[in-house]
Amino acid sequence: MASPELALVVEMLRSRPRGDDLSVDELRAGLEDFAATIPVPDGTRCAAVTAGGVPCEWVAGPGADDGAVVLYLHGGSYVLGSVATHRGLVARLSEACGATALVVGYRLAPEHPFPAALEDAIGAYRWLLARGTDPARVVVAGDSAGGGLAAATLVALRDAGEPLPAAAVLLSPWVDLEGTGASLAANADADPMIDLGGLRRAAAAYLDGVDPRTPLAAPLHADLGGLPPLLIQVGGNEALLDDALRFAARARAARVKVRLDRWDEMIHVWQAFAPLVPEASAALARVGAFVRARLGSGRGPLSSARTTDGGRPSAATGRGHATAASGARVPAAPGRRTQAAPARRR
């Protein structure tokens, strides 16, 4: 049986006013304002950085190893979200994994439709490798749309013949932009995180006329052979449950090592509600065990992450905000390269 804390969160989410009449800018501002009220763990250090031309943020939870990196792609249906909205979740993920996270502030639709987000994710990954990070000590992770983007990034890197990360973590991934999963209707009442109408509008904005079965936009339709090991977490009450189940089945059929972690009664991206919801904290602990086993992470605190202004990551201050102190030398960032992403079609 789900915890009382989860029931409280579900009730709170159901009481929210619908955003059907709000503009994209208003929806974004509302999410930013909400995220600013969520504190990050004590001892978290954050610093802005430009990674391959992409605005990003280093997030180091307590005890994070600077030699192990989680490249994190935030959710928000490709229309909403930022490094700030996911700072709390990523800080807890960093602590659980014993690894420093690089959160990618990829471009959003409708201003920047597919393949802009994919180009930015690839650019940030290439920047990591260009600065000397061993791909064997990198995990790519993301939630919701970010989970789908993480999967698409792996496929694009494989197709380009580039070194792949050690593994990937997909939290409640959105991989089917047509919305054909039966769980979208079956779990509609149980999952207050997903609005089917809003999801369809977001898909249309991101695709901007591109075929919704394009593999790098909707990786459910991609050839998944040769991808690194995957951890997929999904809630039993999720509207996107079938996205995760079908993607896991396709990956296994392609001989990819897959750990499917299904949590009964959980909603979409319940991990974001740690530490309030005990199941969220437990899920992040399982992610941490998976990542540590593959990266050998957690050996020491962050010591050398760089920022564009020469600062070291500093302790996070306030709620969801951070500052950077001076002191670290800044390496030259390599230029953006996006050859692995397809040209946008009209």
- Which residues are annotated as catalytic? 144, 238, 268
CA atoms within 13 A on the CB side of 344: 14
Torsion-angle region of 81 (φ positive above 0: left; ψ -120 to 50: alpha; else: beta): left
276 bridge partner residues: none
Cβ neighbours of residue 183 closer than 8 Å, sequence gap 6 or more: 238, 239, 240, 241, 242, 243
Cβ atoms of residues 220 and 247 within 8 Å? yes
| Token pair for 175 | 């991989």
Distance CA 68, CA 65 (A): 6
Task: Return the DSSP state at 228.
Answer: P
Sign of the torsion formed by the C-alpha atoms of 75, 286, 89 and 331: negative
Q: Are 336 and 122 in contact (CB under 8 A)?
A: no
Here the tokens at position 203 are 């898909």
Q: What is the DSSP string of 67-124?
A: EEEEEEE--STTTS--TTTTHHHHHHHHHHHTEEEEEE----TTTS-TTHHHHHHHHH
Strand positions, DSSP E, the chain = 45-51, 54-60, 65-73, 99-104, 138-143, 167-171, 230-235, 258-263, 311-317, 321-326
Take residue 27 and report the two structure tokens written for it. 């929806």
Pairing outcome for strands 167-171 and 258-263: unpaired
Distance CA 289, CA 150 (A): 19
Q: Where does 160-192 have alpha helices with state H?
A: 183-186
